[in-house]
Structure 1
Amino acid sequence: MSQYQDLKKACYDANMQLPKLGLVLFTFGNASVVDREQQVFAIKPSGVPYELLKPEDIVILDFANNVLEGKKRPSSDTKTHAVLYSHWEHIGGIVHTHSTYATAWAQAQLDIPILGTTHADHLTVDIPCAPPMEDAMIAGDYEHQTGWQILNEFQRRGLSPSEVEMVLLANHAPFTWGKTVDKAVYNSAVLEEVARMAYLSCTLRPEVPRLKDALIRKHYERKHGVNSYYGQS
């Protein structure tokens, strides 16, 4: 029995949620799960259709991208995941998709503006879109540099990855993360829905105003603030 059996199963389960939620087609996208104690992470193998994916197909790597277990090649986005895990030690899972509306905003090279309370329930700022990568970054270690593009954009904007758990990459697609991989999957679904709502709102009213600060604070704080009262706990 593999010492990584539970980690592989968690990664498999997360990946299988993506087509169920309508976030991926064919072999698009991937989810990964980290084990901080062992300093390893599990990720979907490259190019394997979800309907054919099995737990034993999941690949285990260290943060230097060395394969520790698995017969298949890991996702082509593996180095991006490794960069984020190495620098953001609080995150437990990462999801990358090419979901339609979130990717449309990324291709347009636009932040997703905070227009309504669904957005404000989850974060208090526009969903950031990192700028297009420089040619030298693309020509070099592309996937590794993709991770740095995310890190650098968060540093430039002064954003906390524990508060803003999602990003768009210009011309590419979204990444989300969370303390657990389940939260990363949840964030991916939320991002797609918020992106869809924002697109429709901007289509109906191109000059739609940003959500009022009072509503942003109210909706975020009632779920995440010190005196939060949303839910049963």
Structure 2
Amino acid sequence: MSQYNAIKQEAYDANMQLPKLGLVLFTFGNVSVADHNKKVFAIKPSGVPYEELSPEKMVIVDFDATIIEGSLRPSSDTKTHAVLYKHWNGINSIVHTHSTYATAWAQSQLDIPILGTTHADHTTSVIPCAPPMSDEMIQGDYETETGYQIINCFNERKLDPSETEMMLVGNHAPFTWGASSHKAVYNAAVLEEVAKMAFVTLQINPTAPSLKETLIKKHYERKHGPDAYYGQ
């Protein structure tokens, strides 16, 4: 019996949520689940259709992107996940999709503005879009550089990945993460919905103003603040 069965099962379950939530088409996405104590993570194998997946097919990789266990090649995005786990200790799961509206915003190279309370329920900032990768980065270790593209964006904007658990990579697609695979997948679904709402809002009113700070603070803190009262 593998010592990694727990994270393989969790990664499988999380990956299977993506098509159910309408966040992936064909094999356009992946979820990983980390064990920071062992410095490894389980991730979807590359190019395997969701209906053919099983917990046993999840690949175990260390934080240097070296395969530890598994007979299949891991996701082509594995090195990106490895970089994020290595630098952000507080995240235990990462989701990457090419969901339609979030990817459209990424392709537009624009942040998703904070226009309403649904957005503010989940983060107090715009959803950032990292600038497109430089030619030097593209021609280097591309997937590794994508991880640094994400980290650099957060560092430059002084954002905390434990507070803003979603972002866009310019010209590419969204990434989300969380303390659990459930939260990371939840964030991927929320990001897609917020991206859709923002797009529709700006179609109705291209000059729609950002949400005012008092309302942002109220909605975020009622769910996440020290005196949060949302839920049971």
What's the TM-score, normalizing by structure 2? Answer: 0.99
AA at the equivalent of 1:81: H
Matching residue of 2:51: 51
Matching residue of 1:212: 212
Return the offset for 1:105.
0.2
Matching residue of 2:143: 143
Return the offset for 1:212.
1.2
Question: What SS does the corresponding residue of 1:110 show, helix, strand or coil?
Answer: coil
AA at the equivalent of 1:71: S
For 1:54-65, list aligned pairs within 5 A: 54-65=54-65
Aligned length: 232
Mapped partners of 2:105, 2:82: distance in 1: 25
Return the offset for 1:37.
1.4
Question: What SS does the corresponding residue of 1:68 show, helix, strand or coil?
Answer: strand
Matching residue of 1:40: 40
Return the offset for 1:173.
0.1
Q: CA RMSD in A?
A: 0.6
Matched, 1:160 2:160: yes
AA at the equivalent of 2:168: L
Mapped partners of 1:162, 1:6: distance in 2: 24
Mapped partners of 2:40, 2:214: distance in 1: 42
Matched, 1:73 2:73: yes
Matched, 1:202 2:202: yes
1:121-142 superposed Cα distances (whole Å, 9 cap, x missing partner)? 0011100000000001001100
Mapped partners of 2:225, 2:79: distance in 1: 34
Matching residue of 2:100: 100
Return the offset for 1:3.
1.3
Matching residue of 1:113: 113
Identity %: 69
Matching residue of 2:87: 87
AA at the equivalent of 2:47: G
* Unpaired segments ≥5 residues, structure 1: none
Mapped partners of 1:137, 1:19: distance in 2: 31
Question: What SS does the corresponding residue of 2:211 show, helix, strand or coil?
Answer: coil
Mapped partners of 1:186, 1:49: distance in 2: 21
1:49-90 superposed Cα distances (whole Å, 9 cap, x missing partner)? 001111111000111111111000000000000000000001
Return the offset for 1:214.
1.2
Mapped partners of 1:138, 1:25: distance in 2: 25
